[in-house]
Structure 1
Amino acid sequence: MKKFLTPVLFFCMLHGLLAQSYTGFLTDNYSGVHGLIANPANIADSRFKTDINLIGVSALGGNDLYSVRFKDLFEDDFNFEEDAEKSTKSSNNGIAHVDVLGPSFMFNLNPKSSIAIFTRARAMVNINDVNGENLDTLIDGFDEEQDFMIDEEDLYGNAHGWAEIGVTYARILYQKDAHFVKGGISLKYLQGFGQAYGSGENLSVDYDADGITIPGQGTVGSITSTGNLRYGFSENLQEDDFEVLKGVNGFGADIGFVYEWRPDKDKYLLNDPDNGPYLAKYANKYKLKAGLSLTDFGSIKYPNGTEKLYDINATIDEDAFDDYDTLEEALDDLYTEVSSQNAVTAKLPTMLHANVDYSFTNHFYLNLNTDLSLVSKSRVDANRQLNEVALTPRYESKWFSFYSPIRMVEQFGFQWGAGLRAGPLYIGSGSVLTVLLSDKFNSADVYAGLKIPVYQPKVRDRDGDGIKDKLDECPDKHGPVENNGCPWPDTDGDDVLDKDDACPEQAGPEENKGCPWPDTDGDGLLDQDDSCPQEAGPVANNGCPWPDTDSDGVLDKDDQCPETVGTVANNGCPELTETVQKALNDYAKTILFDTGTANIQDASHTVLNDIVAILAEYPNARFSIEGHTDSIGSYETNQKLSENRAKSVLDFLVSAGVDASRLESKGFGEMKPIATNMYKHGRKQNRRVEINLIK
């Protein structure tokens, strides 16, 4: 019984909680590409020309059951079970979370817009609403000769890991007088690593050591359970060997806006010869900044997962559990399955962020941030972030920043941290000072990373042409303002300057205003030298197009089947579709043999002739004829029979005119069943021949 009771409770003790990643660092105007994590609008009007993140890791762990003193962790005789202080209650919680920002970069598309491409991996494993006294029983063990009661009531759970590849676009939306608004959006392609979740409703287990008397066996314990138990997990968590699923993906998005009040904007005003005055990007220009964003809306579907709901209101004798190797088998046989489905969906931890930043001076700021989860605690198929409020004072400059966030975090209370950025290095924690200064702590986080920052430079004018280098397309060559600081070019090299050239990208004689003489069909041959002046064609064919007799998009000179419509991918020959492949196997599975032999029955000749007709439509395709049997008989006999039957089909097709070089036969015996061999209907499906395209 013990081996099943423990996973029943622990499987349900998962729930998605998440504290903000990179706490404090995201308030920095020099956080660069990291800014899009909290608000995608942050990358517009950035202090960077480009910012390249090499690697960054943020990790969090916490619980409200155990707490320890920091200095005790370094004592030689420290024992967690003995030295940790325990605070059991009816609703204990725990969390472990890792957020990795991989290679990512941002850059400016133009003065008003920026773009970023980022990679990110995230994993959450959490517990929520666990009865701490029950957890003690599970950890310390229990005596199966003594009665006990476990009452969990309602609890929920979720564990999920996934990766993101995303692109962020942000631009300036409005700027007039002292008011400035920018917006941004991130679109994310998601790759799921795996998900498991569970919930219990009115869950309890009452063990009576001598509850049932079985004739001839004596007295055994009874287990009376109540409530409903739901669990779900992705396909790769069904076996002991975990592997990342292929083709399991989804999409997500973030959206955000930022408003800035800039009463002293004129101090940063510069001249743009084409677009008029503009504000320098190398400096912060606001007195007050406010941001609002919605992050992580989207989902990942695991199509081959499992979700089941059980009614576990029953009394079972203890020995009944010993007949099962897995919890799922016990649940299926001993309790009532209310519902099931073959797919699970993981919702992202959608959250609303509100942020206000006040500038005292050019270097000292105070930030107020609120994170509010938009996911219900009772929704087990979605991760949920922790609500929190943070007040962060900071010192900020181009090469160095220091910040010290003071936070109130849902379920973990007061947290005080510190962090810094020094050129390419950033490191910090949202709880380090709480850990070091408090009598005991029950949660901690840390983050660190490296990046390559390329800052916006201060304005210079190296060539002295009156145009700032930031806007000068030729900062080292003197040029007129009307040509953005560059000397007038002759792009096509025809000795006619672009400003006087009617065709600046194409060389032409001066008498035709720099344009070439006409080439009506645009094939590179002037009309006077073109045999087909109205139709574009290669020079090798005197300007005429190569023919395509079957009009399949593959020229006859490259078409292996010039008289038959085909595909480009198949060199102009027809390509076998999934529908035709299915039809082949539908025919093949109806081929009948004399019992226990490889002799094809006469009734199957019509089917085989239909197969010959299909193969004839694809003269360049090669096929594998594969024989399969059920599991009745010996392995060796079934293997030999499957090989002989596949060879018999091959011989028939060759005799009917199919080129033998296009065919091969294989036997798989009983190794690849498509149905259970326990029943007659399943064995019939397993006795089959398949004809598959060799790619």
Structure 2
Amino acid sequence: MPFRVKLLRHLRLLFIAISLFGSYEARAQFTLGGYSNSHYAGIHGVPNNPAMAAGTHYKWDVNIAGINAAAGNTYIRFPRSILLHPPDSLRDLKRNRDYFPDTAGTGRQFAWGNVDVMMPSVLYSLDELSAVAFTWRVRSMVNGGNATTDVANFFALDFPNPRFNNQRFDMEWVNASFHWWNEFGFTYARVLKDDGNTVFKAGATLKLLSGVAAGYAQVEGASFAMHSTTNGEINDGTLKVGYSDGLAKWESPTLSNYKVFGNMGLGMDLGITYEWREVIDGLTGYDDSQWNPEADDYRLRLGVSLTDLGSITYKKSPDSKDLDLRTENINTSDLRQRRGESVQAYYRRISTYFNEIPSDEKFRMNTPAALNLMADYNIDGRFYVNAAGRLALNSGKYDPSKTYVMSYFQVTPRYEARHIGGYLPLSVNRNGQFDAGLGLRLGPLVIGSTTMLSNLFQKNKNRLDGFVALRIIPIKRGEGKVGCPGTNF
């Protein structure tokens, strides 16, 4: 089977699962647990905190190519065989054989999936105190809805299912969104203070954004009941929908839709770090064997950053409409997507059953803004413990046209040497899911997953992720000397 067909099958399955089985949140940054906050991260530390560019071990550092991808949910689990060989459509899956829904869940259901590709990017240290970086990333993300388990069961279990006749369901708000964009980041970072015991760094990344395609849908305040498989009523609720011309004019193959400069926007990352050192040395020392050898001499490092502040404005496709969902009599079977019917054709059809609500001709898709916190403790110069947390800043219900990250907390013990590193990320996300992973840095190659170890002990999977990157990491020898370090104190 051609690779393109396999890829489209995987993407289609992911989209359908996210659309039907819950709300979505994702780790949007180009990160691998523990590694991205380490002093050997170089260019790979910049997306998480731009201050990390200053005072590194590297005179310069080049990313050749890298990808970070994740997918998962809380509602259904899949056996490994289905993940490796997905069918053509969701209709071909058999419940309790090919997938296992959590029909008895008591909370809201969630799902996630994102792809972040770092294209050729470079970090350059102007001196031991300041650095600049250029990052080129191609990113895509899907967000979804906040559905309760009873609502997920209603739509997922053989809809329309007579089992749910004459029961009332409520959807306070359930949303879904998709965003594919390109970004060029220009970073400047500098050591603001270095008195030997304490080191403050700050950095900023200005981003030139260009959107490829985006879309969103959000149900608000809906209350409905099904009296039979051909008769139902919706007492209240609105549906807000918007998607860009890029989605309306989607071409095949998928990559042909990618344009470096399309819908333009601006973004920004801001970050600071603080380092405490037991021995007075600072960052301005040097020797003849390596660049900036004191980069990891801190005992404790703290970091705070705001990432992905920005948005892109899109023109709505004329077919995307906001709808008043109230109706006393609707054929419930008509609300089911028909075999072979595209998502756009499906929406055009069901929009004829409801009254249109006036809406703007454009929409602004926010990028996944987040607050990132980090603490890194140096045990003995080889072993470290990193604690990191991420908090989504725009995951609320008030603005449907957004993408947003998952809030989580992570602790990563790690081993570091010049050409090798090992990472053991242990994390808990906002859904209460615990994951254990593994990462390795072997010279220019970095590879890992925050769910690898967890998945080894699970027969059926509901989440997975992976990170791989190839870089050039030269150590500048015998240059960059700016005078005796003692003259800086």
TM-score greater than 0.5 by the shorter chain? yes
- 2:282–2:294 CA contact under 8 A, matched in 1: no
1:206, distance to aligned residue in structure 2 (A): 3.1
Aligned residue pairs, count: 437
Residue in 2 aligned with 1:553? none
Give the structure with the higher percent strand.
2
Matched, 1:105 2:106: no
Seen in structure 2, the aligned counterparts of structure 1 residues 355 and 449 have a Cα distance that, compared at 3 Å, is: same
1:203, distance to aligned residue in structure 2 (A): 2.4
Q: Residue by residue, what CA displacement relative to the aligned partner does 1:176-221 show, whole Å, maximum 9, x if unpaired? A: 14111111000111111211111112324434449xxxxxxxxxx4
The one of 23, 27, 34 equivalent to 1:18 is 27
Give the whole-Å Cα distance in 1 for the aligned partners of 2:162 and 2:286. 87
Give the whole-Å Cα distance in 2 for the aligned partners of 1:147 and 1:267. 68
- 1:236–1:244 CA contact under 8 A, matched in 2: no
1:95, distance to aligned residue in structure 2 (A): 1.0
Give the whole-Å Cα distance in 2 for the aligned partners of 1:353 and 1:206. 42
The one of 37, 43, 57 equivalent to 1:47 is 57
374-383 vs 96-105, greater mean Cα deviation: 374-383
Give the whole-Å Cα distance in 1 for the aligned partners of 2:382 and 2:234. 62
Q: Look up the equivalent residue of 1:99 and give its one-letter code.
A: D
The one of 309, 312, 335 equivalent to 1:300 is 312
Between the two proteins, what is the percent identity of the paired residues?
27
251-260 vs 175-184, greater mean Cα deviation: 175-184
For structure 2, list consecutive stretches of 5 or more residues without a partner in the other structure.
Answer: 1-15, 86-92, 485-489
1:107, distance to aligned residue in structure 2 (A): 0.7
Residue in 2 aligned with 1:203? 222
> What secondary structure does 1:128 align onto?
coil
Seen in structure 2, the aligned counterparts of structure 1 residues 316 and 60 have a Cα distance that, compared at 3 Å, is: same
- 1:47–1:456 CA contact under 8 A, matched in 2: no
- 2:145–2:218 CA contact under 8 A, matched in 1: no
Give the whole-Å Cα distance in 2 for the aligned partners of 1:147 and 1:418. 44
- 2:20–2:152 CA contact under 8 A, matched in 1: no
Q: Residue by residue, what CA displacement relative to the aligned partner does 1:430-481 show, whole Å, maximum 9, x if unpaired? A: 1111111346542111111111111244xx5xxxxxxxx44289xxxxxxx9
- 1:265–1:285 CA contact under 8 A, matched in 2: no
Give the whole-Å Cα distance in 2 for the aligned partners of 1:191 and 1:31. 27
Give the whole-Å Cα distance in 2 for the aligned partners of 1:472 and 1:182. 19
1:357, distance to aligned residue in structure 2 (A): 0.7
1:143, distance to aligned residue in structure 2 (A): 6.0
Q: Residue by residue, what CA displacement relative to the aligned partner does 1:11-67 show, whole Å, maximum 9, x if unpaired? A: 896655436532332022111101111100001011111111011111111111122
Matched, 1:254 2:269: yes
Give the whole-Å Cα distance in 2 for the aligned partners of 1:146 and 1:282. 67
The one of 157, 161, 170 equivalent to 2:180 is 161
Q: Look up the equivalent residue of 2:327 and give its one-letter code.
A: A
The one of 205, 209, 224 equivalent to 1:186 is 205
> What secondary structure does 2:33 align onto?
coil
Matched, 1:151 2:169: yes
Residue in 1 aligned with 2:48? 38
Matched, 1:223 2:232: yes
Residue in 1 aligned with 2:4? none
Give the whole-Å Cα distance in 2 for the aligned partners of 1:244 and 1:14. 26
Q: Look up the equivalent residue of 2:215 and give its one-letter code.
A: A
Give the whole-Å Cα distance in 2 for the aligned partners of 1:176 and 1:310. 61
1:314, distance to aligned residue in structure 2 (A): 1.1
Seen in structure 2, the aligned counterparts of structure 1 residues 335 and 29 have a Cα distance that, compared at 3 Å, is: same
- 1:262–1:286 CA contact under 8 A, matched in 2: yes
1:73, distance to aligned residue in structure 2 (A): 7.2
> What secondary structure does 1:455 align onto?
coil
If the length of structure 2 is used for normalisation, what is the TM-score?
Answer: 0.80
Give the whole-Å Cα distance in 2 for the aligned partners of 1:265 and 1:319. 73
Matched, 1:62 2:72: yes
- 2:33–2:423 CA contact under 8 A, matched in 1: no
Residue in 1 aligned with 2:3? none
Give the whole-Å Cα distance in 2 for the aligned partners of 1:55 and 1:366. 27
Matched, 1:336 2:351: no
Seen in structure 2, the aligned counterparts of structure 1 residues 115 and 73 have a Cα distance that, compared at 3 Å, is: closer
1:163, distance to aligned residue in structure 2 (A): 1.1
Residue in 2 aligned with 1:415? 435
Give the whole-Å Cα distance in 1 for the aligned partners of 2:36 and 2:94. 34
Larger Cα Rg: Structure 1 or Structure 2? 1
Residue in 1 aligned with 2:9? none
> What secondary structure does 1:81 align onto?
coil
If the length of structure 1 is used for normalisation, what is the TM-score?
Answer: 0.57
- 1:301–1:346 CA contact under 8 A, matched in 2: yes
Give the whole-Å Cα distance in 2 for the aligned partners of 1:241 and 1:72. 27
For structure 1, list consecutive stretches of 5 or more residues without a partner in the other structure.
Answer: 1-6, 211-220, 273-278, 461-468, 474-480, 482-695
Residue in 1 aligned with 2:244? 234
Give the whole-Å Cα distance in 2 for the aligned partners of 1:446 and 1:39. 21
1:282, distance to aligned residue in structure 2 (A): 5.7
Matched, 1:397 2:417: yes
- 2:197–2:282 CA contact under 8 A, matched in 1: no
Give the whole-Å Cα distance in 2 for the aligned partners of 1:133 and 1:350. 31
- 1:13–1:198 CA contact under 8 A, matched in 2: no
Give the whole-Å Cα distance in 2 for the aligned partners of 1:269 and 1:209. 76
- 1:14–1:159 CA contact under 8 A, matched in 2: no
Q: Residue by residue, what CA displacement relative to the aligned partner does 1:555-608 show, whole Å, maximum 9, x if unpaired? A: xxxxxxxxxxxxxxxxxxxxxxxxxxxxxxxxxxxxxxxxxxxxxxxxxxxxxx
1:413, distance to aligned residue in structure 2 (A): 1.6
Residue in 1 aligned with 2:380? 361
1:236, distance to aligned residue in structure 2 (A): 1.8
The one of 333, 337, 351 equivalent to 2:370 is 351
Give the whole-Å Cα distance in 2 for the aligned partners of 1:209 and 1:146. 10
Give the whole-Å Cα distance in 2 for the aligned partners of 1:317 and 1:283. 67
**More relative contact order, 1 or 2 (CA 8 Å, 6+ apart):** 2
1:102, distance to aligned residue in structure 2 (A): 1.0
Give the whole-Å Cα distance in 2 for the aligned partners of 1:334 and 1:440. 40
Map residues 267-282 of structure 1 onto 2, 5 A cutoff.
270=285, 280-281=292-293
Seen in structure 2, the aligned counterparts of structure 1 residues 312 and 434 have a Cα distance that, compared at 3 Å, is: same
> What secondary structure does 1:237 align onto?
helix
- 1:261–1:289 CA contact under 8 A, matched in 2: yes
- How big is the alpha-carbon RMSD for the aligned residues of Structure 1 and Structure 2? 3.4
Give the whole-Å Cα distance in 1 for the aligned partners of 2:179 and 2:151. 25
Give the whole-Å Cα distance in 1 for the aligned partners of 2:417 and 2:36. 15
Give the whole-Å Cα distance in 2 for the aligned partners of 1:185 and 1:147. 53
Q: Residue by residue, what CA displacement relative to the aligned partner does 1:492-534 show, whole Å, maximum 9, x if unpaired? A: xxxxxxxxxxxxxxxxxxxxxxxxxxxxxxxxxxxxxxxxxxx
Matched, 1:452 2:464: no
> What secondary structure does 2:95 align onto?
helix
Seen in structure 2, the aligned counterparts of structure 1 residues 456 and 352 have a Cα distance that, compared at 3 Å, is: farther
Give the whole-Å Cα distance in 2 for the aligned partners of 1:391 and 1:251. 32
- 1:95–1:126 CA contact under 8 A, matched in 2: yes
163-172 vs 62-71, greater mean Cα deviation: 62-71
- 1:158–1:382 CA contact under 8 A, matched in 2: yes
